[in-house]
């Protein structure tokens, strides 16, 4: 840490605590002030808050985030975490919303189960990954403020006539005896540098030549772009700002798009296949889709949107025939044609309730596989739907789970009340598909009520199949424009810092003795060449290499 005392220079300028070089004349102020080694010109020697002695708790937090080393560690840790998230598919990439607790173990074994248990299956939405991004953003802000404000103060307070020790301890220096008028020599030398696009500031026999100062702000503009980029990434977590999901819509169905106020209808899905004459010989005999199209209608919900027991009131806002690379677009929402399935899917059944003791039949009643009504009145009996599983399975804990939202193995649990049943009702599990009844043992599951009642479908005429289903990819990304703006700003900062260099030349003539020093933040060969060329035009021939501090240039 730097010293606690205030550093007042002999030029009269009062510097902040911890200043290494006087902000006005540039005189070295610290313990190594008498050294002849080139000066450390990073941030022009100004004091920074992170170098404060006896820091408070707030200062310690500031110091932590202002450290470039810490920033590098955070970036590496974030990159490693992001890489771990790519080992297996993320949960939000599932087309049919598989049950994660069983999917990873079944597909990838013990490593997959560990992957899920560690929370890596939703890495990019996890609190710890978002915390890493926030910490990187905080580090960028504090690193920038800790350096850019002092640097701006130092560059805005530059004095033309610099201290001799400041000039003589630059990395590029030159000293010689000058004959004639010092003021005229300085003016002539300044004119030579103007031709190289230097800005010239003079004070009698002293001169400051400077060009490309703007390049010093390149890294901080880059930081601004990265901060905006990170904020845009974090904004994707705001509800309604970002979405990348999938919906499956059987022919003629209307499906709610989760997380939005929109519904989409598949009026008609069609697929056209290549004929054998259109295919090469090795592909003939196989069905190859030539075009698949969804006649889609987009609705917005006007009322009763969250009431599952009531039918929502919908208003059409857009319709479009969706094909590959031609999505339906509305107010930032995009629906892409992703895939299709022409396998008939169970859409609904019309079962009846049978009293086994009397043989009486009640119904039929409509039981759609999706969005089924919650209550049914069948004569003296009342059925209340208490659970619905689209793809029934039993989890590791013995509890029923659903593996997807598609009716691959649908199951319904009803609470039935009526004659001969307890007042609170009795549960009944119903499997619409015969293979599922046999697989899971419907009679065994309903042992307490199976001798009294039965729910069954009487004939295939009471079974409704959808002819085809379309898979649509739903995308919305309101943060994307800000991501591109942040990336563009960051690139501008990189270009500013990479292709231009901040070059400065200080000189003063005291009783005919010329003292010249020059500094640049990069490309010292170009800096030496500029100085040597200007001196040569003044009639002084000098080897550019001899301008290095320590060379024979007197």
Tokens of 491: 């690139």
Encode pLDDT of 479-527 as tens digits: 889 999 999 999 999 999 899 999 999 999 999 999 999 999 889 999 9
| pLDDT at 551 exceeding the cut of 60 | no
- Quick one: which H or E segment has residue 156? helix 127-156
Average pLDDT over residues 455-478: 86
pLDDT of 141: 92
**What single string gives the DSSP state of each residue in 450-470?**
TTTEEEE--SGGGEEEES-EE
- Tokens representing 142 are 């504090």
Confidence of residue 223 (pLDDT cuts 50, 70, 90): very high
Q: What's the pLDDT tens digit per position in 106-136?
A: 888 889 889 988 989 889 888 999 999 999 9
Please give the pLDDT value at position 31: 56
Does the pLDDT of residue 25 top 90, yes or no?
Answer: no
User: Which pLDDT belongs to residue 552?
Assistant: 42
State the pLDDT confidence band at 201, using cuts at 50, 70 and 90.
very high
Whether residue 537 contacts residue 511, with contact meaning beta carbons closer than 8 Å, is answered with no
pLDDT at 553: 46
For residues 263 and 314, is the Cβ–Cβ distance under 8 A?
yes
For residue 245, count other CB atoms closer than 10 A to its CB: 18
* Residues 175 and 41: beta-carbon distance below 8 Å: no
pTM above 0.75, yes or no: no
User: Could you tell me if 346 and 433 are in contact, meaning their C-beta atoms sit under 8 angstroms apart?
Assistant: yes
Mean pLDDT to the nearest integer, 276-296: 82
CA angle 163, 169, 170 (to 5 degrees): 100
pLDDT at res. 52: 64
Distance CA 30, CA 158 (A): 19
Determine the pLDDT at residue 490.
Answer: 94
Q: How far apart (Å, rounded) are the C-alpha atoms in residues 511 and 178?
A: 9
What is the average pLDDT score of the chain? 86
The answer to whether residues 477 and 334 touch, using CB atoms and an 8 Å cutoff, is no
Q: Give the whole-angstrom CA distance, residue 61 versus residue 516.
A: 42
The Cα–Cα gap between 60 and 213 comes to 32
Across the range 395-424, mean pLDDT stands at 85
pLDDT in tens, 343-384: 777 888 999 999 888 888 998 999 988 778 889 999 889 999
Q: What is the DSSP string of 62-124?
A: HHHHH-HHHHHHHHHHHHHHHHHTTSS--GGG-SS---HHHHHHHHHHHHHHHHHHTTGGGGG
Band (217; pLDDT cuts 50, 70, 90): very high
**What is d(CA 129, CA 139) in angstroms, rounded to the nearest whole number?**
15
pLDDT at 460 over 80: yes
| Distance linking the first and last C-alpha atoms of the chain | 38
For the residues 233-238, what does the mean pLDDT come to? 85
pLDDT at residue 155, rounded to an integer: 85
Instruction: For residues 256-279, give the mean pLDDT.
Output: 87
- Band (pLDDT 50/70/90 cuts) for residue 154 is confident
Is residue 33 scored above 70 in pLDDT? Answer: no
Q: What is the pLDDT of residue 2?
A: 43
| pLDDT of amino acid 179 | 87
509 φ, ψ (degrees, to nearest 5): -120, 120
Q: What is the pLDDT of residue 53?
A: 64
CA dihedral 490, 41, 517, 155 (to 10 degrees): 60
């Amino acid at each position: 840490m730097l010293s606690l005392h205030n550093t007042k220079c002999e030029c009269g300028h009062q510097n902040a605590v911890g200043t290494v070089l006087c902000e006005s004349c540039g005189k070295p102020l610290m313990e190594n002030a008498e050294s002849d080694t080139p000066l450390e010109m990073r941030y022009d020697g100004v004091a920074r808050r992170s170098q404060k002695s006896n820091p408070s708790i707030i200062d310690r937090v500031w110091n932590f985030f202002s450290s470039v080393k810490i920033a590098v560690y955070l970036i590496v840790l974030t990159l490693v975490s992001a890489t771990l998230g790519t080992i297996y598919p993320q949960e939000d990439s599932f087309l049919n919303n598989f049950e994660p607790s069983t999917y990873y173990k079944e597909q990838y074994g013990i490593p997959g189960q560990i992957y899920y248990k560690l929370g890596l299956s939703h890495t990019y939405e996890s609190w710890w990954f978002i915390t890493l991004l926030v910490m990187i953003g905080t580090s960028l802000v504090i690193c920038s403020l800790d350096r850019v404000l002092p640097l701006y103060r130092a560059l805005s307070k530059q004095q033309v006539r610099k201290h001799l020790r400041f000039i003589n301890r630059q990395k590029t220096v030159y000293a010689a005896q000058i004959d004639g008028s010092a003021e005229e020599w300085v003016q002539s030398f300044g004119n030579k540098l103007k031709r190289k696009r230097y800005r010239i500031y003079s004070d009698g026999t002293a001169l400051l030549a400077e060009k490309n100062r703007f390049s010093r702000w390149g890294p901080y503009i880059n930081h601004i772009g990265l901060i905006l980029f990170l904020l845009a990434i974090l904004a994707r977590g705001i509800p309604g700002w970002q979405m990348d999901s999938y919906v499956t819509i059987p022919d003629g169905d209307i499906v709610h798009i989760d997380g939005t106020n929109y519904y989409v209808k598949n009026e008609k899905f069609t697929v056209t296949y290549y004929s054998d004459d259109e295919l090469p010989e090795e592909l003939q005999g196989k069905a190859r889709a030539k075009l698949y199209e969804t006649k889609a209608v987009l609705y917005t919900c006007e009322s009763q949107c969250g009431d599952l027991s009531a039918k929502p009131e919908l208003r059409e806002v857009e319709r479009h025939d969706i094909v590959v690379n031609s999505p339906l677009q509305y107010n930032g929402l995009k629906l892409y044609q992703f895939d299709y399935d022409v396998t008939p899917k169970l859409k609904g059944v019309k079962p009846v309730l049978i009293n086994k003791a009397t043989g009486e039949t009640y119904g039929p009643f409509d039981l759609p596989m999706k969005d089924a009504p919650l209550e049914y009145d069948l004569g003296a009996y009342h059925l209340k739907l208490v659970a619905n599983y689209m793809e029934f399975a039993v989890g590791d804990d013995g509890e029923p789970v659903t593996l997807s939202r598609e009716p691959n193995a649908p199951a319904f649990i009803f609470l039935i009340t009526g004659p001969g049943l307890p007042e609170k009702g009795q549960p009944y599990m119903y499997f619409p598909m015969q293979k599922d009844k046999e697989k899971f043992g419907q009679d065994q599951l309903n042992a307490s009520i199976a001798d009294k009642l039965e729910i069954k479908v009487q004939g295939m005429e009471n079974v409704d199949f959808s002819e085809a289903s379309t898979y649509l990819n739903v995308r919305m990304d309101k943060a994307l424009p800000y991501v591109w703006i942040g990336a563009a700003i960051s690139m501008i900062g990189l270009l500013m810092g990479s292709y231009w260099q901040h070059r400065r030349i200080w000189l003063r003539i005291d009783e005919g003795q010329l003292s010249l020093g020059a500094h640049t933040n990069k490309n010292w060969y170009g800096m030496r060449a500029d100085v040597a060329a200007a001196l040569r035009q003044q009639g002084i021939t000098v080897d550019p290499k001899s301008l290095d501090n320590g060379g024979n240039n007197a």
